[in-house]
Amino acid sequence: MKKLTLPLSKEQILSLRAGDCVELSGVIYTARDCAHRRFMECLERGEPLPFDPKGAFLYFAGPCPAPEGKACGSCGPTTSARMNAFAPTILKLGLGGFIGKGEMSMETRAALRECGAVYFAAIGGAGAFYGDHVEEMTLVAYPDLMSEAVYRMKVKDFPLVVAHDAHGGTVYE
């Protein structure tokens, strides 16, 4: 198990290989399909994204409201393939990578290689477990999207598997 603290350097990202188990600590941002559509609208208008994409990691998740005494409720990954249409464009802004569930397209995998980024897989059905690894959660943008809004999360020992690495490796073949 590799313990990594975000942001990751390019060298750290390039050292990761498909199948590596990691625990991430640091800041990630949530964004599902609706938020990604709004990201594209921002870019089309020449506006910046509502977070700095350089080195950032997007978690394809929609957190549930936090119960008393917790930073976050259940926060499991959503199906990453729904973000394939947006992923290459977002990666080219300098993103460190993504966190989600399931395989991503060949186009996204090519963009990961081209940009030197990584895709981590989270465990589907383990939303409560992942929510327990969130220490802080702050709304960043698009509150009208409710759970699909963009949130900044500080996570601790967030367990993941490298699903698609920056060299074209994948756990899905």
Q: Look-up: residue for tokens 């999207």?
A: 145
CATH of the domain at 119: 3.20.130.10
Mean pLDDT value across residues 33-60: 97
| Nearest CA among 6, 21, 20 for reference residue 167 | 20
Structural domain that includes position 73:
2-164
Confirm whether pTM is higher than 0.85.
Answer: yes
Q: What is the pLDDT of residue 163?
A: 98
Provide the number of structural domains found in the chain: 1
Strand stretches in 80-126, DSSP E: 97-100, 118-121
In a domain, 171, yes or no: no
pLDDT tens-digit readout, 123-162: 998 999 999 999 999 999 999 999 999 999 999 999 999 9
- Among candidate residues 36, 133, 164, 167, the one labeled active-site is 36
Q: Which residues contact 34 (CB under 8 A, 6 or more apart)?
A: 142, 145, 148
Buried b (16+ CB within 10 A) or exposed e, 44-63: eeeeebbbebebbbbbbbbb
Does the annotation mark 167 as catalytic? no
In a domain, 130, yes or no: yes
* Mean pLDDT, all residues of the chain: 97
